[in-house]
Amino acid sequence: MKNLVFIMICLLSAISPLSAETGNAEQQLSAFIHNTKTLQANFKQILLTNTLSTDTQPKSGVFYLSRPGLFRWSYQTPDQQEIVSNGKKVWFYDLDLEQVTVKTVTDALSMGPALLLSGSSSLSERFVLEPQTVIDGVAWLKLTPKEKIAGFKSIRIGLKNNVLTEMLMEDDFDQVTRISFSEIVVNPKLKSTLFELKIPAGVDVIED
């Protein structure tokens, strides 16, 4: 999940848009990046195996983002977790374990494919971009890294009407993590307190 979190953030905070036109998947992705300053959406996350059977316990919650670099993933089911960034630090809070892991944004971005997406260069310099079949009005774009990254094969991004609707990341074990977004609100007013984690008393804190 951490790889997908930071892919999402880097896509919205670091990559220069190519255009703002409605069209193919690459154009729609550029338009989405160009037009999105803040974002709120519900999400559902499932794990697909190489036999395409779904995870028995899909995860769901609410996602918030404010460019540049502020975000919050609030997992509500089946377990409560929070992943929060204030642009400098990232907190991973497991409510059941009563444990918080803290990383700097730089360290967090060094994980997996997010490293390739964190620079100012274009996607085409770092990834092979392959437009996919349009399915039910969703335009798909496959991104395959030009340099091998451990644990990561590719990511597919689905867009409709210039809005990101789905992300699928394939790992080295042929498993696919799928995140579907719904109830998407582009450029809502978001409170700054969403992007700070107040750590409750008695919770173990691990700083990397």
Q: Which of 80, 12, 41 is nearest to 190 (CA)?
A: 41
3-state secondary structure of 103: strand
* pTM listed for this prediction: 0.80
Residue 86 has pLDDT above 80, yes or no: yes
pLDDT of residue 55: 58
Residue 70 has pLDDT above 90, yes or no: no
Distances (CA, A) of 84 to 67, 140, 163, 173, 206: 13, 28, 22, 28, 15
Q: Which residues pair with 11 in a beta bridge?
A: none
More confident residue, 67 or 131: 131
Q: Which of 61, 57, 93 is nearest to 76 (CA)?
A: 61
4 falls in which pLDDT band (50, 70, 90)? low
More confident residue, 57 or 200: 200
| Distance of alpha carbon 71 from the chain centroid | 10
In a 13 Å sphere around the CA of 123, the CA atoms on its Cβ side amount to: 23
Residue 208 has pLDDT above 70, yes or no: yes
Nearest-10 crossing angle of helices 25-35, 2-13: 70
More confident residue, 147 or 114: 147
Question: 57: which residues sit within 8 A by CB, 6+ positions away?
Answer: 78
**Any idea which fold 2-207 has?**
outer membrane lipoprotein receptor (LolB), chain A (2.50.20)
Residue 79 has pLDDT above 50, yes or no: yes
pLDDT of residue 15: 46
Take residue 186 and report the two structure tokens written for it.
């582009």
201 falls in which pLDDT band (50, 70, 90)? very high
Q: Where are the domains of the chain?
A: 2-207
183 falls in which pLDDT band (50, 70, 90)? very high
Largest separation between any pair of C-alpha atoms in the chain = 51
57 falls in which pLDDT band (50, 70, 90)? confident
Rounded to whole angstroms, the Cα distance separating 2 from 112 reads 9
pLDDT of residue 93: 95
- Average pLDDT (84-109) is 85
pLDDT of residue 140: 94
Question: 115: which residues sit within 8 A by CB, 6+ positions away?
Answer: 109, 149
Distances (CA, A) of 207 to 90, 93, 195, 196: 10, 12, 18, 16
